[in-house]
C-alpha cells in the first residue's frame, strides 16, 4: 500500500500520457539543465519511482563514484519520506534498493560495446536484468549519433528504456520548441525531453517533447532545498 501511495503521489507521473509511465519500453528520455540545477536529482527520482514499481534499475555514472551516487539516492529518498511523513523508511528502502545496481565508467572509456559486454555478463550469469537504464554525465557536445543509435537498438532489443542527463549552457541557442541547438540533431532519437528552467528563484520542470501539453498538467517545480519535484 505504501509503495502504491508513493507512486500515486509522484508529481512526475503527471508527465505521462494515457499511462503513468513517462517513458515506454525501448524509449529514450533526456533531462536537460545547466550545471548544478538538479539533473541528477530528477534522474534519481525517476529511478526511485521505477524501484517502487519493482523494476530493476541500472544507474550508470560517468562523473561520480558509486559512494556519491548512493548518497544521492539516500538523500532523495529521505526527503521523499519526510515530505510524506513515512515512518517505515528502513523497511521500504531495504525492500527496493536490491533492485538497483550502480555502475561507473570514466567518460573517455565509456562505449556501447563495453556496456553491452557488461550487460551480457550480468544477464547471462543471472546477476541482474535491468529494465531501466540511467546514464548520468554523457557528453553531448561531441558527435555521438552513431553510439546513441547503437544504444537505442540495444535498449529496444532488451525491452528497456533509458534516461540521460544533458548539460546545457547559458550561451546555447534554442529552437522554437525550446530544445537547444546542440541537441536538435539528436532529438529524433528521443521520445521524451524534460527541461529544468530557472526563472527567478524558481526552477520549472517543463516537457519539451513527448509529454502532454502544458495546459494538461499543473505547473511542476523543483524545490531547491529538497531537490524534489512538486506540483
121-142 tens-digit pLDDT? 999 999 999 999 999 999 998 8
- Model's pTM, two decimal places? 0.93
Among 9-23, 62-76, 91-105, the least confident range:
9-23
> Looking at residue 141, what is its pLDDT?
84
Q: Please state the domain extents for the chain.
A: 2-230
CATH classification code of 2-230? 3.40.50.300
Q: What is the DSSP string of the chain?
A: -HHHHHHHH-GGGGG-SSSS-SS-TT-EEEEEE-TTSSHHHHHHHHHHHHHHTT--EEEEESSS-HHHHHHHHHHHHHHHHHHTT-S-HHHHHHHHHTTEEEEE--GGG--HHHHHHHHHHHHHTTS---SEEEEE----SS--HHHHHHHHHHHHHTT-EEEEEEE--TT--B-TTS-BHHHHTTGGG-SEEEEEEEETTEEEEEEEESS--GGGS---EEETTTTEEE-
> Looking at residue 210, what is its pLDDT?
87
Amino acid at each position: 500500500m505504501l509503495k502504491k501511495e508513493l507512486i500515486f503521489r509522484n508529481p512526475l507521473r503527471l508527465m505521462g500520457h494515457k499511462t503513468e509511465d513517462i517513458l515506454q519500453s525501448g524509449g529514450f528520455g533526456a533531462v536537460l539543465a545547466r550545471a548544478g540545477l538538479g539533473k541528477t536529482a530528477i534522474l534519481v527520482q525517476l529511478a526511485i519511482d521505477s524501484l517502487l514499481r519493482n523494476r530493476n534499475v541500472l544507474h550508470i555514472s560517468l562523473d561520480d563514484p558509486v559512494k556519491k551516487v548512493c548518497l544521492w539516492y539516500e538523500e532523495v529518498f529521505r526527503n521523499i519520506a519526510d515530505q510524506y511523513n513515512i515512518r517505515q523508511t528502513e523497511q521500504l528502502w531495504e525492500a527496493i534498493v536490491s533492485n538497483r545496481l550502480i555502475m561507473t565508467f570514466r567518460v573517455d572509456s565509456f562505449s556501447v560495446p563495453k556496456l553491452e559486454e557488461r550487460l551480457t555478463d550480468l544477464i547471462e550469469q543471472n546477476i541482474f536484468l535491468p529494465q531501466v537504464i540511467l546514464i548520468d554525465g554523457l557528453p553531448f557536445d561531441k558527435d555521438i549519433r552513431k553510439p546513441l543509435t547503437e544504444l537505442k537498438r540495444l535498449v529496444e532489443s532488451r525491452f528497456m528504456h533509458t534516461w540521460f542527463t544533458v548539460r546545457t549552457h547559458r550561451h546555447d541557442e534554442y529552437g522554437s520548441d525550446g530544445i537547444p541547438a546542440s541537441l536538435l540533431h539528436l532529438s529524433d532519437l528521443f521520445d521524451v525531453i524534460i527541461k529544468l528552467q530557472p526563472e527567478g528563484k524558481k526552477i520549472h520542470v517543463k516537457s519539451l517533447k513527448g509529454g502532454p501539453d502544458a495546459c494538461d498538467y499543473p505547473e511542476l517545480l523543483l524545490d531547491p532545498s529538497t531537490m524534489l519535484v512538486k506540483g
